[in-house]
Structure 1
Amino acid sequence: MRRLTAVILALGLSLAASPAPAEALKVVSENPPIQPGYNRFVLHSDRIGRDFAVTVNTPSATVFLPGQKLPAIYALDSGYGLAGPQGMLLGNTGAMEPAIIVSVGYLPGQTLFRNTDLLHNKLTQDGVTIGGGGAAFEAFLLEDLKPFVEAKFPADPARSVLFGHSFGGLFAANVFADKPDAFYGYVIGSASVWADPPVAARVAAAMAHAHGQRVYLSVGEKEGWMVPGGSSQMTDGFSGLMAAMTSKPGVILKTQLYAGETHLSYYPRLVTDGFPHVLPPAMALGASQTVLTPEVLARYLGVYSLPDGRKVTITRQSRGDLAGQVSGIPQVPLQQNGADRFYAPTSDLNVTFDKSGLTMVGVDGGTVRATRDKTP
């Protein structure tokens, strides 16, 4: 008995002396939002041994459904400072599904670390070797940063998107080749396939393991114009990836060769064209609808009860449109989207009315039923 007690005591002391497991990410600093929907962090990665500057933009979307989450786009190279603002504009105006934009970048003076992080294989040019850190950076994104974002924001783990351009596009292609299901969608712009030629064959082999990923693949027509005599290496890389993905099951692919554009000049269009492809809105823009009469609209007005006890109140706005409000959540406009069906553009949510209540359906298939309580 004494011996057993001594063993237990020794084990307890040993466990107490053992250091706690290191956190994957440490928040070095978190700046107060300078405007709604804008959050900036400096995060230290023990895995990589460096700090990263991470900006998180959240849309003005109203989360209606219980447990509803939003897709998240992870933009490499800080999204060149454009992906976050442009993504917010697209989501807030109904051009794409509202999404959280996570721009991943570097602190001042550390930008060249991208040449390590974004290349899975080493590359030697003019006696200088770069790259080789892609696998560690991929693990940082998937195992450290994504869980961090999903714990702090309503980000849907099943609907994340990876967005990269140039070396970032090559990195995105390598992630797809490693594990297509790592992301729901991929925006791959001007991938530097010349720096890692085997990636095209690896992408082709990975197609058998893809399950409906949405991919936007692009390049500028005049990417090689500054090279003496011209160069087709960027467009050749684009063609190789396109061939690897075209006419094969597993992805919903859209490709774009931007006529007259150079390596960087089309980047804003890469966002405005690529994001809506990987995250299309629930209702196509410009859909024509029959104008409903006030008598028909009056049928929808009233109070409805959700299963969790909250109330949904449907009212008329001053200009005649409908508006919906869930208890404790700001009111949102409802636009007609068919017979007895309306669309909440700020939530990317469809609301369908019937005689006994209404059904709300999110773009991700989340559904909730509300029964009618009374009418005005």
Structure 2
Amino acid sequence: MHMTALFHGGRGRHLRDRAACAAPPFARLLSRLCGGLLAGALMLQTVQPAQAQSISVAAPLPVEWAPVQLSRSLGFDIESRHTGQRYRIAIGLPHKPAPTAGYPVLWALDGLASFPLMETVRPRPPAAGESAEWRRKIGDEPAGLIVAIGYASGEPIDVNARALDYTPPGTTAPSGDSFSGRHGGADAFLRFLTQELRPLLARHFPMNPQQHTLFGFSYGGLFTLHTLSTQPQHFQRYWAASPSLWFGGHHVLETLPQRLPALDFVAHPARVTITVGLDEQYPASFATPQQQERLQSRRMVDNAERFAGLLTPRPGVQLQLLKLAAHEHPDMLTHGARRVVDFAFAP
């Protein structure tokens, strides 16, 4: 496991004290935070020398220029024994000590794309010059931990890596994916999340075992609903933004009725939000006839409505379906990433 950046500063002392006492090898890296090795936070991407040579500049770049960083964050790379893929993990640190039960945890897929969008809504620790009224507001907001799962390629949306990780196995129909050729790794990816990454982080951060939220967009939304409808014990809250339920001949949707009798949501209650943009099936403008045909065949709105309709009557499920006018597919990532933080951290 390779750390890509460290965090330090006057904030988050309680977190650092906890982390420094944890077991090696990750703890040794975290303990360096107390020594003040670096100011700042997560370096989501770095410009490599080869990349720098491939861009056009009017003059040599100053040597002191550094990668853009985000505050109150940690980052590291890890290779999974379950998937064989290498991930870049971004951790959004809470703004105050954990409640008695531990921090609620938000697990965000497509992490290098979704995590920066969450920056504007994450609660902030005290800052110099802020008003007392602002501090009262922030102080009342629940604290939580964000775990954003991206890929070591550094791409915000790694098309091929996510196509493998986020799609379900067992589909017999054509995938419907014209970009990627490898699919069906969702169960292995879930094992990475729950059997590798979660235990690793739980050694260093107190987690509320009854408040884990899974957030995914597009294929990530498909993975979210696949997890909900196959192994709901791993998360208690689910936000599926524009889920690609068309994949593999609508496999997840078509097999849901057969799976439902075996799912015990009374023992594993779930709060679920499914969102879809109306322009994803009924574009108001700018769609060519070919695009219109493609959108109609994928039936994004119809699929979301049907999934919600099948799940809503189940005891133990609290579900809301949001159909947003004047929103197309990419809009749903922005919409969800800004709203899921409150959804995940609310008591």
- TM-score, L = length of structure 1: 0.61
Partner Cα separation in structure 2 for residue 125 and residue 90 of structure 1: 40
Match of 1:228 among 281, 285, 291: 291
CA contact (8 A) 2:217 2:242 kept: yes
Q: Report whether the alignment pairs 1:63 with 2:98.
A: yes
Q: Which has the higher contact order (CA 8 A, sep 6+)?
A: 2
> Which of the pair has more CA radius of gyration?
1
Matching residue of 2:2: 28
Q: Deviations over 1:229-266 (max 9, x none)?
A: 35242112211211122233121111111111111124
Once the 2 structures are TM-superposed, how far is the Cα of residue 153 of structure 1 from its aligned partner? 1.5
Aligned to 1:42: 77
- 2:153 maps to which residue? 108
Kindly provide the CA deviation profile for residues 195-239 of structure 1, in whole angstroms up to 9, marking residues without a partner as x. 041312444533741132111111011024345335242112211
2:253 corresponds to: 200
Change (3 A) 1:83 1:156: farther
Inter-partner Cα distance in structure 2 for 1:182 and 1:89: 26
**Cα distance change on mapping 1:259 and 1:93 into 2, 3 Å:** farther
Query: 1:240-251 maps to which residues of 2 (within 5 A)?
Result: 240-251=306-317
The one-character-per-residue Cα deviations of 1:67-125 (angstroms, maximum 9, x if unpaired) are x4101111000153335424523998479632101000012267221111111136265
C-alpha change, 1:256 and 1:64, in structure 2 (3 Å) is closer
Identity across matched positions, percent: 23
- The unaligned stretches of length 5 or more in structure 2 are 8-39, 42-70, 126-136
Instruction: Give the direction of change, closer, same or farther, for the CA distance of 1:83–1:241 in structure 2 (3 Å limit).
Output: farther
TM alignment of 1:109-124, pairs within 5 A: 111=158, 112-121=160-169, 123=175
Question: Whole-Å Cα distance in 1 between the matches of residues 124 and 228 of structure 2?
Answer: 25
User: Which shows bigger deviation, 134-143 or 245-254?
Assistant: 245-254
Partner residue of 2:242?
Answer: 190
In structure 2, the CA distance between the partners of 1:41 and 1:127, relative to structure 1 (3 Å rule), is closer
| 1:63/1:135 CA distance change after superposition, 3 Å | closer
Which is richer in strand?
1
Given that 1:90 and 1:272 are in contact with CA atoms closer than 8 Å, whether structure 2 keeps it comes out as no
Structure whose residues are more often helix by fraction: 2
Deviation (angstroms), 1:130: 2.7
Q: CA 1:152/1:128 → structure 2, altered by over 3 Å: closer, same or farther?
A: closer
Q: Matched residues in 2 for 1:95 and 1:222: separation?
A: 37
1:3-57 deviation line (CA, Å, top 9, x unaligned):
xxxxxxxxxxxxxxxxxxxxxxxx2225212245310011121222232100000
Q: Contact (CA 8 Å) 1:58, 1:88: kept in 2 or not?
A: no
Evaluate the alpha carbon distance shift between residue 125 and residue 220 of structure 1 in structure 2; reply closer, same or farther with a 3 A threshold.
Answer: closer
Distance 1:266 1:95 in 2: 28
Do the aligned residues in 2 keep the contact of 1:177 with 1:202 (CA within 8 Å)? no
Aligned 8 A contact 1:40 1:53 in 2: yes
Q: Which residue of 2 aligns with 1:80?
A: 114
Instruction: Say if 1:235 and 1:127 are closer, same or farther in 2 by CA, change over 3 A.
Output: closer
In structure 2, what is the equivalent of residue 237 of structure 1?
303
Residue 218 of structure 1 is matched in structure 2 by: 275
In the alignment, the residues of structure 1 paired with residue 327 and residue 309 of structure 2 have an alpha-carbon distance, to the nearest angstrom, of 22
The corresponding residue for 1:331 is none
Q: Aligned pair 1:97/2:145, yes or no?
A: no
Cα separation, 2, equivalents of 1:166 and 1:261? 14
1:127 Cα deviation after fit: 9.6
Once residues 64 and 246 of structure 1 are traced to their aligned partners in structure 2, the CA distance between those partners, rounded to angstroms, is 31
TM-score (norm 2): 0.65
Tell me the C-alpha RMSD between the 2 structures: 2.7
Paired residues for 1:365-376 under 5 Å: none
